[in-house]
């Protein structure tokens, strides 16, 4: 475990933004297994891996229980290999049975989803009847809890298989609900797991844009929990950027709008939280509003702070996820039909940078979701629960994922994170133990749900959600 550095994040940002690889050579051939190959992430993450500098011999195994989507993903991966002229060193495997291809994997990338689009309306519409208004609903709240209850048992089965077939593999999780997924893994599995999200990268770029400074000159520090991590330091050439930004945010909130004509990018919830709590948060206003008791409990507050799409639109994810999924499938088929050479650039998703840094033993900084008492050490964030999952800066090198010790968050920021972590604690327990009672307790502590429902209503809503999704929730008692 390493202590935090006071320097900014310029080194990482230069590497990721210029999309150059890291120096050095790969010491061995690699095997990477991707679970949930039908995911939107497959094309981008695989493309990133193919762009690693000095790519060694690579076996890339794709797994999906949907054979149709698996076939499309495998054909697309093979097409990418051919267009990159890497057939001599990259082999693509595909199977609906993970046990047939996982053995010997050095890295596992998990993008699994349980139930496809079938439960997304239940996750949104049943809570809405009780006054719980969700925008995304896949990481916290009733929607996030039930996505976790469906997914975590499958996730833990995957990790048990990995313990037997590839116990030394590093597991990179992209599946939501991120905190509950990583928390359950940390409590049950011996596998090394890190949860990866792109909200830190995206928001750090956004803040550079808000401040009008070059990204590579931005000096920042960020810590908290997934989707609720705080940019506690934001400087440019030694100057604190927050005083000027807060004046700008206050003026926009007073006007009831941000710059431009697109309400989605006004980002009113995040700006309001920055004014009242002291720092900017990593996730969009729509996602963030679900982690809090303030903005979605009355119609007037929704109208004032929550705008369209990711700006906080009611039921946005439930209304759009099925069509997004169909479009993603259609886009893949269109790429396969195209006669033009496929081209892509390396993205700022962390997976390929982790693989390259670990293999070449070249230090690289990321932000990952790990247990607060990582590898049995003291808490990374001192004033958050030691048995919880946090999102902090991590140094990647030949030793794997090395989280940095942040210290204490400002108390008001820690308190908001801790309120969510109590819900995640019981949500993970409910999934591990298949306990309906623990699921009720989790929603009793959910900040948004508790802001609008009585305990009796929360219990009734939870029972209704269990009945509606019984097909995907075997064994819960």
Which residues are the active-site residues?
198, 291
212-to-35, 100, 218, 220, 252 alpha-carbon distances in Å? 40, 51, 10, 15, 17
d(CA 1, CA 371): 12
Strand bridging mode 170-173 / 107-110: parallel
Alpha helix ranges (H) inside 310-410:
316-337, 350-360
Give SS3 for 242. Answer: helix
Q: How many C-beta atoms lie closer than 10 Å to residue 461's C-beta?
A: 21
d(CA 22, CA 30): 16
The owner of tokens 């976790």 is: 148
Give SS3 for 427. Answer: helix
Q: For residue 227, which of 429, 422, 421, 450 has the smallest C-alpha distance?
A: 421
311 neighbors 263 (Cβ within 8 angstroms): yes
281 neighbors 274 (Cβ within 8 angstroms): yes
15 neighbors 22 (Cβ within 8 angstroms): yes
d(CA 151, CA 15): 34
Q: Would you give the DSSP letter of residue 38?
A: T
Widest CA span of the chain, in angstroms? 63
Alpha helix ranges (H) inside 86-232:
120-129, 141-165, 178-188, 199-211
56 Cβ contact list (under 8 Å, min separation 6): 26, 28, 29, 30, 89
Q: Would you give the DSSP letter of residue 222?
A: E
The pairs formed by 75-82 with CB atoms below 8 angstroms and a separation of 24 or more are: 75/336, 76/42, 76/43, 76/332, 76/335, 76/336, 77/42, 77/46, 79/335, 79/336, 79/342, 80/43, 80/46, 80/47, 80/50, 80/342, 80/344, 81/50
246 Cβ contact list (under 8 Å, min separation 6): 274, 275
């Amino acid at each position: 475990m390493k202590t935090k550095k006071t320097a900014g994040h310029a080194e990482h940002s230069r590497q990721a933004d210029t999309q150059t690889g890291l120096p050095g050579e790969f010491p061995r051939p690699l095997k990477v297994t991707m679970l949930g190959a039908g995911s939107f992430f497959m094309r981008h993450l695989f493309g990133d891996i193919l762009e690693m500098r000095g790519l060694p011999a690579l076996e890339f195994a794709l797994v999906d229980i949907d054979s149709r989507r698996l076939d499309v993903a495998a054909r697309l991966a093979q097409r990418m290999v051919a267009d990159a002229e890497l057939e001599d060193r990259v082999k693509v495997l595909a199977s609906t049975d993970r046990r047939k291809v996982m053995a010997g994997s050095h890295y596992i990338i998990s993008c699994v989803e349980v139930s496809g689009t079938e439960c997304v309306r239940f996750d949104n519409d049943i809570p809405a009847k009780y006054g719980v208004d969700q925008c995304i609903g896949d990481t916290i709240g009733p929607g996030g809890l039930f996505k976790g209850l469906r997914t975590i048992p499958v996730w833990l089965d995957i990790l048990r298989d990995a313990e037997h077939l590839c116990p030394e593999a590093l597991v990179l999780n992209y599946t939501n609900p991120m905190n509950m997924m990583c928390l359950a893994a940390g409590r049950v599995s011996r596998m090394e797991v890190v949860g990866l999200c792109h909200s830190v990268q995206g928001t750090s770029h956004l803040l550079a844009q808000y401040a009008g400074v070059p990204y590579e000159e931005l000096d920042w520090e960020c810590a908290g929990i997934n989707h609720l991590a705080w940019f506690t330091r934001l400087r440019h050439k030694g100057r604190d950027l927050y005083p000027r930004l807060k004046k700008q945010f206050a003026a926009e909130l007073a006007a009831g709008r941000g710059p431009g004509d697109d309400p989605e990018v006004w980002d009113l919830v995040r700006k309001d939280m920055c004014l009242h709590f002291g720092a900017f948060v990593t996730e969009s206003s729509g996602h963030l509003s679900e982690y809090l008791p303030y903005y979605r409990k009355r119609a007037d507050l929704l109208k004032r702070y929550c705008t369209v799409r990711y700006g906080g639109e009611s039921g946005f994810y439930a209304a759009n996820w099925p069509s997004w999924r169909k479009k993603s499938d259609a886009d893949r088929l269109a790429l396969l039909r195209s006669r033009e050479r496929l081209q892509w650039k390396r993205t700022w998703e962390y997976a390929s940078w982790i693989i390259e840094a670990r293999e070449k033993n070249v230090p690289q900084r990321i932000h990952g979701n790990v247990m607060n008492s990582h590898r049995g050490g003291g808490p990374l964030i001192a004033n958050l629960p030691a048995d919880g999952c946090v999102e902090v800066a991590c140094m990647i090198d030949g030793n794997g994922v090395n989280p940095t010790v942040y210290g204490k968050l400002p108390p008001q920021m820690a308190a908001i994170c801790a309120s969510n972590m109590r819900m995640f604690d019981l949500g993970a327990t409910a999934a591990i133990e298949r306990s309906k009672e623990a699921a009720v307790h989790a929603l009793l502590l959910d900040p948004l749900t508790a802001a609008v429902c009585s305990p009796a209503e929360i219990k009734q809503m939870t029972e209704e959600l269990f009945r509606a999704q019984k097909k995907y929730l075997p064994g819960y008692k």
